[in-house]
A and B are shown apart, each in its own frame.
Chain A
């Protein structure tokens, strides 16, 4: 695995798609892993938008746009890679929200308040087995792992989350 990734990484960095951010590199490695090893479960942790902590709203917006584009490219890979096409569920969710503009903390720079703007986020699911629709009810992050286990028919062990029934046929 190390040899495969190192070779791919060297080709990538010196190729036309030279990455300029951590997320671009993350995407590339994720795609290489999918192409070379095709794991049944893969977690991709995009991180560029954490630049919000630096206090630049424009950089934050750029990072959101970039992550959005890379997530779309990940979906493209899922729909074209024979190992994943038509048998993969993609779950996209933010780790957390951010403090609101009116917040006592410092707006978008942080997520310290614990207010709803920090705690209330969303989840987008698409792909195999996911019906079209929208659900508005309280879910928690721990439900995601429990649901992924159900989708993969993996014994969940001691998980505290609940299955998100809307996503499981």
Chain B
């Protein structure tokens, strides 16, 4: 029995997992096995999910899962050989090689289409205002009218009397006492602290850790014959590296989160804005922050042939001088604004009660996507920065 909460332990003891299709049960059990390394929002989710299945009429649960159980039989899943307590690379391999894989995904999605609305009702009942701020660096070479084009129809452009600056965000997370409720994820290191309990992940500040991690991965690749992505994934998971220095490394949950972001996120070791985007996506999925400040920077130009050196620091491996790519950064970020906004909106915690502010440092206009009762949504006047700051604090009750 893993060290789970009392609620989950009782559900396991009542035999819920034995009543569920094997692929679903195994994956879910694997997710909760390391209970202490889950964020409170994840723990809450699994308690709600498993609690719902446990207390629901068995016939209803059976009807919900029958299509998946039938498909598992067609896939040739052998109960005698299937490890039901750990979702292994062998499981992944079995599923992905099955001609029924696409159908299996559809049936899993179908199950959650029915479950999610029920779980979301509980979330909506105890919703609270949330705030997401996404900033672009001052070097982006376009006027505000060319910013946020993919999402502008969802919000309102609000003029500023003075250009936006990082100090706008001072103290936004000060009143949030819950751990993991305020996150600052940035490419550089230009923003003031959000608050005492806020999580801060800076690509720039993490440079020594990133370099050490890349070095460790490269040595591992040199020493071992890696035969494919699955073996690479397993090796990366077991790779021993010291945690990062500072507050990030002192919290095992955040240190593990960071390591996962850097090792499983492809370009996160190499490109500052990819790190910012993927860390944000993962923070939303796992921690559901109440306040999130997401700050992009300028990406460097990629040096010749660097795509062949995935785990090598191209700044040191190539003698060609480093140059910034401001136009490329602009193109990259236009996509990322959309991805970040839609990721938050996937979750009931954020829908209808979140203010999104998209600002460019040094720009005198910002895009705000917000419920109609957010004070800045009324009128068309230009706003002062103190007025904007006060409206944001008022929204989250800081």
A: residues with CB less than 8 A from B are: 19-22, 47-48, 50-51, 53-59, 61-62, 101-102, 104, 106-110, 113-114, 119
Say whether B331 contacts A61, CB under 8 Å. yes
CB distance from A10 to the nearest CB of B (A): 16
B105's partner among A107, A108, A114 (CB-CB below 8 A) is A114
B: residues with CB less than 8 A from A are: 96, 101-102, 105, 265-268, 270-271, 273-274, 277-278, 281, 299, 302, 304-305, 307-308, 325, 327-329, 331-332, 334-335, 338-339, 342, 346
Say whether A58 contacts B307, CB under 8 Å. no
CA distance A50 to B274 in the complex (A): 15
CA distance A92 to B313 in the complex (A): 34
30 sampled A-B residue pairs with Cβ under 8 A: A20-B305, A22-B305, A22-B308, A47-B307, A51-B302, A51-B307, A53-B266, A54-B267, A54-B270, A54-B274, A54-B307, A55-B265, A55-B266, A55-B268, A55-B274, A55-B278, A56-B271, A56-B299, A57-B332, A58-B325, A58-B328, A58-B329, A101-B339, A107-B339, A109-B266, A109-B267, A110-B266, A114-B96, A114-B101, A119-B102
CA distance A133 to B281 in the complex (A): 43
Say whether B266 contacts A54, CB under 8 Å. yes
B307's partner among A48, A102, A106, A109 (CB-CB below 8 A) is A48
User: Which residues of A have CB within 8 Å of B334?
Assistant: 57
Q: Which residue of chain A is the closest to B101 with respect to CB atoms?
A: A114
Known: A53-B267, A119-B102. A108 touches B274 (CB 8 A): no
User: Which residues of A have CB within 8 Å of B328?
Assistant: 56, 58-59, 62
Select the residue from A55, A101, A107 with max chain B CB neighbours within 10 A: A55
CA distance A77 to B23 in the complex (A): 51
Select the residue from B268, B307, B327, B342 with max chain A CB neighbours within 10 A: B307
CA distance A109 to B281 in the complex (A): 13
CA distance A108 to B268 in the complex (A): 15
User: Which residues of A have CB within 8 Å of B266?
Assistant: 53-55, 109-110
User: Which residues of B have CB within 8 Å of A106?
Assistant: 277-278, 281, 339
Q: Which residue of chain B is the closest to A48 with respect to CB atoms?
A: B307
CA distance A107 to B335 in the complex (A): 9
CA distance A22 to B309 in the complex (A): 11
Counting from the closest, the 7 A-B pairs by CB-CB distance are A55-B274, A54-B267, A58-B328, A58-B331, A53-B266, A20-B304, A55-B267
Say whether A58 contacts B332, CB under 8 Å. yes
CA distance A103 to B15 in the complex (A): 34
CA distance A107 to B278 in the complex (A): 11
Say whether B267 contacts A21, CB under 8 Å. no
Additional 6 contacts, C-beta under 8 A, given A20-B304, A55-B265, A106-B339: A21-B307, A54-B271, A56-B332, A102-B342, A109-B266, A109-B274
